[in-house]
Amino acid sequence: MLICDHYLNSACQVASPNCDDRPDSEDISLLVIHCISLPPEQFEGAYIDQLFCNCLDPTEHAYFQEIHQLKVSAHLLIRRDGSIRQYVAFNRRAWHAGVSCYQDRERCNDFSVGIELEGAVSLPYTDSQYRQLAAVTQALLAEYPRLSRQRITGHSDIAPDRKADPGPLFDWQRFYALLD
């Protein structure tokens, strides 16, 4: 797995308009792990792409009426089967963290890469997702020198009053073991 010109070579590219320039394009120094499913706890389908590309139809599901106007994105999505979609180039700011703080530094979108795992906080993640997340993380660590194993966190850690993902069923020890 390689990163070429800030794109993951093995990812399906789906361009999201929900991004902009980072204040410092060299400052890629945090990896944030998230989870998402649309509708909640339902997998597959095109709804995540639609949300990140601002074309989610609010009539398709009652939950979509609450979220269809959000302007959000992530750099990557790792689906349950391990396939990867990239929405934003790594050198650009994706809109994934919201109001956030890491080690007394606010606005985590400015300096982080956001990876969504297709899932829910109440369900375990798949073997394929752990393997792909580890491979992607290794590629990111090799490409961006300000990233490190010590600068990987969950959305719940940078926005604890708002977010619970990736949740208690995300196995951090298993993930770190796969990085070795």
Residue 30, strand partner residues? 112
How confident is the model over 71-96, as pLDDT tens digits? 999 999 999 999 999 999 999 999 99
How confident is the model over 16-44, as pLDDT tens digits? 999 999 999 999 999 999 999 999 999 99
Catalytic residue among 26, 116, 118, 143: 116
Give catalytic status of residue 44 as yes or no: no
* pTM, full prediction: 0.97
How many CB atoms within 10 Å of residue 134?
A: 18
Domain spans in the chain, listed from the N-terminal domain onward:
24-179
- Give the distance, in angstroms, between the CA of residue 156 and the centroid of all CA atoms in the same chain: 13
How confident is the model over 125-171, as pLDDT tens digits? 999 999 999 999 999 999 999 999 999 999 999 999 999 999 999 99
> At 50, which amino acid appears?
Q
How confident is the model over 51-67, as pLDDT tens digits? 999 999 999 999 999 99
Q: What is the CATH number of domain 24-179?
A: 3.40.80.10
CA 26 to CA 109: how far, in whole Å? 13
| Residue-level pLDDT at 57 | 97
Determine if the peptide bond prior to 39 is cis (ω within 30°): yes
CA 155 to CA 96: how far, in whole Å? 9
Query: What 8-state DSSP symbol labels residue 134?
Result: H
| Residue-level pLDDT at 124 | 98
From residue 115, alpha-carbon distances to 60, 76, 81 in Å are 25, 5, 15
| Numbers of helices and strands, H then E, in the chain | 5, 12
Burial tier of 151 (Cβ tally within 10 Å: 0-12, 13-18, 19+): middle
